[in-house]
Homo-oligomer: A and B are copies of this chain.
Amino acid sequence: MARPQTDIDAGRELLLNQVEELVRKRGSADIAMNELAAAAGMSPSNLYRFFESKEALLEAVAEKWFADKIAIMEEVTASDLPVRDKLFAFFARRFVVLNARFNADPELFKSYCELGEQYIEVIRGYVDLGDHYLAMIIAEAMDEGYFGELSIDEALSLINQMVSPYCMPDALIHIGPKLSEAKLSQIIDTIFIGLGHGYEAKAQTPHIKIVS
C-alpha cells in the first residue's frame, strides 16, 4: 500500500461510497470510470488521481469488502483459544459478519457477489490469504494429534469443502435460513473427531473405546 495521503485517502473513501450507491441502484452491471466520475461530480481525469485504473478501483472495492474478515482471521489465528474453538471462531465470526451484511441489504449483497464473479482474479488473493491462516490453525491441530495422516493441504481442502456453505456468499443467498452457528459448531466437532481417521481402519478394528 502507498504511504498515507490524507486527501487522496478521503477522496477514495468518498468514491468507494459512490461505487456502493451505483451498485445499489444498478446491480452488478459493469461500472465505467466515466460513469463513476459523473456520479461523483468530477472530471474523469480527476477521478484518475484517486484510482489510476479500473483495476485499482476494483481492488479497493474488494479491500473494503474483505477488511473486517481479514481482521477476524488475524485476530483468531493469533488468539490463544483452544484449537477446536479457534477453528470454529475462524469460520463462525466471518459467517456472522457475512450474514449481517446479507440481511442488511440482500440485493446489494447479491450484486457484490455477482461483481466478485466477474472479477474473480481480484478475489483470488483473499481466498489464498484465508487458506494461509487456515493452514496455520490446521498445523496447530496436527501438533495436538488431530487429522491422522493427512497433509496440511489435504486437511485444508477437505475442511474448506465441509464448511463451504459458511464461507460462500452464494450459499447465504440460497440456503441462508438453514445455516446456523450451532450447526457450524457440530460440523467443526465432526471434523475434529472424524477427519483423517479412515473409516476403513475403523471397520477393521471396530472397537473404539474411551479409556480415560
Contact = CB atoms under 8 A, between A and B. Distances in A.
Interface of A: 84, 157-158, 160-162, 164-165, 168, 170-171, 174, 178-179, 183, 186-203, 205-212
Number of copies of chain A assembled together? 2
A168 B170 CA distance: 11
A204 B205 CA distance: 24
Contact of A190 (B158, B160, B165): B158
Judged by DSSP, the binding face of A is helix
29 contacts: A84-B199, A84-B203, A158-B190, A160-B178, A161-B162, A161-B179, A162-B162, A164-B164, A164-B165, A164-B171, A168-B174, A186-B195, A186-B196, A188-B199, A189-B198, A190-B195, A190-B196, A191-B194, A193-B193, A193-B194, A193-B199, A193-B202, A194-B197, A201-B210, A205-B210, A207-B210, A208-B210, A209-B211, A211-B211
